[in-house]
Amino acid sequence: MLAGGQAHAEEPASPLTIGGAIRFNYVHKGWQAEKPRGFVGLDTVRLEVKYDDGTRIASAQYRYNRYPEGQGGYWQHFLHHGWVGLRFDDRSTVRVGLDKVPFGLLPFASNNFYESIAFYTGFEDKYDAGITYASAPGKLEWQLAFFPRDGGSYGGGDNTAPASNRYSYNIVRDDDEHGYGTGQRDSERNTLVARVAWHADTAIKQEFGASVLGGDIRNGAGQDTRRNAFAIHYRATPGPVTVMLQAMRYRYKTSHAPSQTYGGLDANSFVMVGGFGYPYPVATKGDIVIANVSYDIPGRIGPFGGFKVYNDYSALHKRTASYGPSKQNVTGLSFSAGKWFFYADLMMGKHHPYISPDFGGLASTAGQHDRWARRINLQAGYYF
């Protein structure tokens, strides 16, 4: 009590918060003979700013990545997201800026650090520039968004492809020096997305949802074509178990000249998709399935807690006769200790740019890489 008997009033919490993270990885690639013991290195340094006074809201995050020699030996930096918005009396929101595309399972269609095949094809954890309206929280929720442009390109080392220095995987122009030399100059424009999710009022927490996406592909030669995607998803949490399921189909209609190809492929059977410094080809028509299960383990071991074990499976089946499927399976464990967060993942894949030597496998597949490949990822991140 203060003099006069008046209680000391607590200072109101500031609506502005500043945070960040620094993360380190150990990686072992089963196909990388020159690094038989794997390698350790910095993964990410990031700075984040958030604002929320109940009505006005905003968030921005900038990242710097620097990878060791075994993972390309390069660096890059980019705006992960940056938006401002308003929260209305009914708790619905409108946000403008570089924001997450509301498509499929949210906030992620995966439990592991490297996410799912949907991420590498541009349909999970993706950020574009535009405006998003989200309904009030409730049994039935929906989002409607329009993104005139993608998330843009930022900076990186001389050994990166400039158009691919970004977080989100978008359709990008090919880079002759660090890409495939196809001469494709595509980009994404005018993306319209609608998503609805229904939360069932049952003993088991369940969510049923559907998403649709449509937009333009600008090919740099004055000819715009169309792209579209549709997804249905389901999430159930019976006690400590969580099941996530998603099925989607996408199609990119392109207008490439026959010369805009590599390896004799049909130039309109693939597009160049880029992120994290490099582009790679992705089939223009495909179906993606995701099936994940996780289990939250109660209790603590010393300072460690929040244990989750999981198995995340995803596959891309290309609707082009000569293109084989791409697959990914990640079995892992995540846990925390104070401000530290840890992942331990055993990753298996085939025809996958990050889990096999077949970097072009999300389109055509190389016969010599038809077996499953292995990647081990151990990560420690400090979040403040």
Tell me if 279 sits within 8 A of 273, measured CB to CB.
Answer: yes
Query: Can you read off the two tokens belonging to residue 326?
Result: 């791409």
pLDDT, position 9? 53
Q: Which helix (H) or strand (E) holds 199?
A: strand 187-200
DSSP-H helix ranges across the chain: 117-120
Round to whole Å and give the CA distance between 319 and 380: 39
What's the predicted TM-score (pTM) here?
0.94
Query: Can you read off the two tokens belonging to residue 38?
Result: 């794997």
Tell me if 269 sits within 8 A of 283, measured CB to CB.
Answer: yes
pLDDT, position 72? 86
Per-residue pLDDT of the chain (384 residues; tens, 9 = 90+): 334 444 445 666 899 999 999 999 999 999 999 999 999 999 999 999 999 999 999 999 999 999 988 888 999 999 999 999 999 999 999 999 999 999 999 999 999 999 999 999 999 999 999 999 999 999 999 999 999 999 999 999 999 999 999 999 999 999 888 999 999 999 999 999 999 999 998 889 999 999 999 999 999 888 899 999 999 999 999 999 999 999 999 999 999 999 999 999 999 999 999 999 999 999 999 999 999 999 999 999 999 999 999 999 999 999 988 899 999 999 999 999 999 999 999 999 999 999 999 999 999 998 889 999 999 999 999 999
pLDDT, position 223? 86
Q: How many CB atoms lie within 10 A of CB 314?
A: 27
